[in-house]
Amino acid sequence: MSGTSPSSIKKLASSITAEYFGKFINTTFSPLEIQVSPNKYKKHIPLANVKIVTCNDGFIQECEEALAYTISSNILEYECSRRIKLDSTYLFGRLEQIISGQIKSVRLLSGSWIDVDKDLKQVCKHLQAARGKYTFLYEDMFADIEPRRIKVPIIIDCSPTNLLKSTFTLDDFRNENEYHPSLRTKAKFLLSIIKKHKKEKGIVFTRNIRLSDALSAFLGQNNIKVFQVDGRIKSETERLNIVQKFQKGSPAVLIITRNTGRRGLDIPLADYSVLYSPKNDEYVVWQELSRIRSTIISRKPSYILYYSGTSEDQRLKRLVFDMEQSPHQYQFSKWTPPKE
């Protein structure tokens, strides 16, 4: 089976298991066969009605270009100092292990290997820090950080030329290393979604408590009732009480941080959900979208916001591909907010 993909193996194992289980049931219990009308069970079959929301924001694109320039410059400086070409795909997949010392050598594009030295470890630390900023960027957590256009020389064979190219760098005006929210296009589109469903209840999933607080204040300024559930609420009973108040009350929005709303937190009285940014794990996303109990009969919308022209675009495409390959049922469409 060396040439068989993991997904094919899973399907094969699943079909064999189902076949033997069916034989066991038939020989042991001699079950009666009952025909059930599709209309009887369709209302119980889960289906995620996914609406993709494209957010275009020049600030986000410029910041990402600055991050990409920082990453490429760090790699190029190290490569030129050793006259080598690193296998960047191999490198980026193992940054933590290289920094921790678990990996002692890394692969080059030529296929050969070099030992990990302290300089390469330092490069990996810079790369990991730069890559970590992407998540904060896509979640509108870039307050006091500004992109600035610069001209840099084009480098050929590790030698700078007289030719210049335009790119961006980041000016960081923060007084600390913490990230704080500065709401942008996603927040505006979120407001449009909520206004579209002004007579209904919705759930918004975020990654960060500070972002949740900023969105709560922003929505409150627009006369929208907001509930919050996050890690600051330690009592499970208190969390459930907030959810019950949300479900039993008038139209409102419940903001949940994604590491707080774990399995078992079902909110079937919610009418729609919003993911402030796509995740990498299809199964986790399915768990989140399933909380509102959308089915084939009752197709409740779930919106996924993403910034176009950025790496988040590629992340979303990978997620949609995984969704299409998964055993879960999805329906896809695009949604654009009305022009004001």
Report pLDDT digits (tens) over 242-278: 999 999 999 999 999 977 755 557 899 999 999 999 9
Using alpha carbons, select from 75, 70, 77, 73 the residue that is nearest to residue 88: 75
Residues with Cβ within 8 Å of residue 207, at least 6 apart in sequence: 135, 139, 257, 258, 259, 276, 277
SS3 at position 156: strand
Alpha-carbon span 124 to 218, nearest angstrom: 38
Global pTM value: 0.85
Confidence of residue 25 (pLDDT cuts 50, 70, 90): confident
For the ranges 3-7, 57-61, 148-152, 240-244, the lowest mean pLDDT is seen at 3-7
Given this model, what pLDDT does residue 40 score? 64
As a whole number, mean pLDDT of residues 124-129 equals: 94
- Would you give the distance in Å from CA 221 to the centre of its chain? 27
Q: Where in the chain is the domain with CATH 3.40.50.300?
A: 43-57+184-334
Pairing of strands 159-172, 145-156: antiparallel
Using alpha carbons, select from 222, 219, 258 the residue that is nearest to residue 139: 258
Beta pairing partners, 148: 169
DSSP state of 151: E
Contact 134, 311 (CB under 8 A): yes
* Structure tokens belonging to residue 226: 């907001």
Using alpha carbons, select from 290, 251, 259 the residue that is nearest to residue 273: 290
Cα radius of gyration (the chain):
25
Number of C-beta neighbours around residue 35 at 10 A? 4
Alpha-carbon span 303 to 54, nearest angstrom: 10
Taking the CA of residue 147 as centre, how many other CA atoms within 13 Å lie in the half-sphere pointing to its CB?
19
Taking only the tens place, the pLDDT of each residue in 296-310 is 888 999 999 999 999
Confidence of residue 311 (pLDDT cuts 50, 70, 90): very high
Given this model, what pLDDT does residue 1 score? 34
Question: Distance between terminal CA atoms of the chain?
Answer: 57
As a whole number, mean pLDDT of residues 280-295 equals: 91
CATH number of 43-57+184-334: 3.40.50.300
Given this model, what pLDDT does residue 98 score? 96
Given this model, what pLDDT does residue 201 score? 97
Mean pLDDT of the chain: 90
| 336 pLDDT higher than 50 | yes
- Would you give the distance in Å from CA 191 to the centre of its chain? 20
Given this model, what pLDDT does residue 260 score? 74
Residue with tokens 């996303």: 285
Using alpha carbons, select from 91, 89, 86, 71 the residue that is nearest to residue 168: 71
The H-assigned helical ranges of 94-184 are 95-100, 118-138
Using alpha carbons, select from 91, 179, 93 the residue that is nearest to residue 137: 179
| 62 pLDDT higher than 60 | yes
Taking only the tens place, the pLDDT of each residue in 88-114 is 999 999 999 999 999 999 999 999 999
Given this model, what pLDDT does residue 163 score? 96
Residues with Cβ within 8 Å of residue 117, at least 6 apart in sequence: none
Contact 294, 43 (CB under 8 A): no
